[in-house]
Amino acid sequence: MKVRVGGLVVTALAVAVALTGGSAAAKSNACGTVTLNEQAWAGSTANTYVVKNVLEKSLGCKVNITKVAEVPVYQAMADGKTDAILEDWGHVPQWNQYVTKQKTVVRAGANGVTGVIGWYIPTYLMKQHPEFKTWKGLKGKETLFKSPESGSQGMFLGGDPSYQQKDKTLIKALGLNLKFVSVGAEPAQVARWEQLYKQKKPVLFYWYDPQYLNATYQLSQIQLPARFKGCLDDEKQGGDPKKYACAYPSYTLLKFMSKKFATSGSPAVGVVKRFSWSNADQNTVAKMIAGDHMNPDQAAQKWIAANKAKVNKWLGK
């Protein structure tokens, strides 16, 4: 009996030794391991995987991808668990806390994409009602957008809770007879307006660019009042609703790196800093990933192959 137990132990030990000895030899290169963070939406998948493939193929880096949510990722960078994020939509409190005060995260420039947020309607509706080109045309016609939840008012579909939005106050400020209906996260909101779009019904909703669906559906933006000095966008600040009565600002999307990564001297730092592409580029790759359901690595490689000049600029060539 003891011999058999012993045999079992010996076998287990042998297996264990074989395992520990069998790790692949580390690739000796100047780059090492880089950890990029990817957000849930397709645009973020697009830019993260393009940079990942550039780093892997051209610099021989080993790239890991984390998927931490937009706000906790700053703590992840502060702890060195994530090296860089490639798309930030203006999280000013986090900039103040981690970049300015703690200095654990540093800026890495803009990623070339301009975020546009606004009020959108389907283009077929715009054609039927050309007066909807500006918000003034909505006055008196709000009941066109009625839904079971909005009673006698028209329904305004709010955006994902994680997105910057001020529509509740804006509706009040513009004096429109609309009810702000929050339909939840983006997939849920898309479900709502997609169904109405497919039935060719009227729908008014919060939407933005870059977004891969903009290439699939024809949507038109409603012009909101021009921006004026002192215009507010953060609903949490409260105050006079009239101060919010202006269009959303355009967002220059920014990149951030952990201090640790930025001072590491890795060649990847330069690539991340120089990475920059257009809204159209991001939407193209995002459509391949989310619209055509292509594997993200394949979509990225396809775009890289067709845009060698841009990629070389990032590599500093």
Partner 1 sequence: MAVAEAAGRLAAPPPRRWWRSRTGLVLAIVVGMVIAFFGWRNQLVWPGSFTWNSLSHHLDSFQTWLSNNRNVPHPSVFFRAFNGLANFLDNLVGWLTSLFFKLTWAGTTALGVLVVLRFGGRRAALGTAAAFVSFAAMGLWESSMRTFALTLASVGFSLAIGLPLGVLAGRSNRFQRAITPVLDAMQIIPAFAYLMPIVILFSVGPGAAVVTTLIYAIPPAIRITALGIRGVPTNTVEAATALGATRMQTLLKVQLPLARRMLLLSVNQTILFALSMVVIAGLIGGQGLGDVVTSGLYSNPALAMLAGAAIVIMAIALDRSTEAMAIRTDPAHRHLTEGKQRRLRLYTLGCAVAVGLAVGLGHAFNAGSVWSRWTGQSWLLRQVQSALDFVQNPNTFIFHITNPIGNFIVRYGLEPLRSFFVEVPWPAMTFGLALIAFLLSGLRPAVVTIVMLSVIGVTNEWTSAMDTLSQVLVATVLTMIVGIPLGVWAAESARTRRVMRPILDVLQTLPQLVYIIPFIYLMPVSIVPGVIAGVLYASPVVIRLVEAGVREVSPHSVEAADAFGATRFQTLLKVKIPLAREAIMLGVNQGMIMVLAVVVIGGLVGSGALGYDVAQGLQQSLFGQGVLASLAILALGIALDRVTQGRRRRRLEDLA
Interface ranges with partner 1 (CB under 8 A): 1, 4-5, 7-8, 11-12, 14-15, 18-19, 22-23, 38, 40-42, 45, 66-73, 75-76, 78-79, 81-82, 91, 93-94, 97-98, 101-102, 104, 147-149, 151, 161-162, 181-188, 191-192, 194-196, 198-199, 212, 236, 286, 289-290, 293
- The residue among 167 and 186 lying less far from partner 1, judged by its C-beta, is 186
- The residue among 102 and 312 lying less far from partner 1, judged by its C-beta, is 102
- The residue among 198 and 317 lying less far from partner 1, judged by its C-beta, is 198
- Nearest-approach distance from CB 102 to partner 1, in angstroms: 5
- The residue among 76 and 254 lying less far from partner 1, judged by its C-beta, is 76
Angle at 25 between CA 20 and CA 28, to 5 degrees: 150
- Nearest-approach distance from CB 175 to partner 1, in angstroms: 19
Structural Rg of the chain based on CA atoms: 25
- The residue among 157 and 271 lying less far from partner 1, judged by its C-beta, is 157
Only one residue has tokens 């931490």, namely 68
- Nearest-approach distance from CB 263 to partner 1, in angstroms: 14
The sign one gets for the Cα dihedral 166, 172, 176, 180 is positive
- Nearest-approach distance from CB 9 to partner 1, in angstroms: 9
- Beta pairing partners, 122: 219
Phi, psi of 224 (to 5 degrees): -95, 165
- The residue among 5 and 309 lying less far from partner 1, judged by its C-beta, is 5
Q: Cβ atoms within 10 A of the Cβ of 265, count?
A: 8
DSSP 24: P
- The residue among 50 and 271 lying less far from partner 1, judged by its C-beta, is 50
- Nearest-approach distance from CB 8 to partner 1, in angstroms: 5
- Nearest-approach distance from CB 42 to partner 1, in angstroms: 4
Only one residue has tokens 């060649």, namely 267
Distances in Å between the Cα of 72 and the Cα atoms of 18, 54, 145 are 39, 26, 37
- Nearest-approach distance from CB 120 to partner 1, in angstroms: 17
**H/E element holding 105?**
strand 105-122
Strand pairing category for 105-122 and 154-157: unpaired
**Residues 6 or more apart whose Cβ sits within 8 Å of residue 277:** 47, 50, 111, 112, 113, 310
Q: With DSSP H G I counted as helix, E B as strand and the rest as coil, what are the percentages for the chain, rounded to 5?
A: 45, 20, 35
Distances in Å between the Cα of 75 and the Cα atoms of 36, 81, 102 are 14, 9, 11
- The residue among 4 and 317 lying less far from partner 1, judged by its C-beta, is 4
Q: Cβ atoms within 10 A of the Cβ of 26, count?
A: 9
- Nearest-approach distance from CB 90 to partner 1, in angstroms: 11
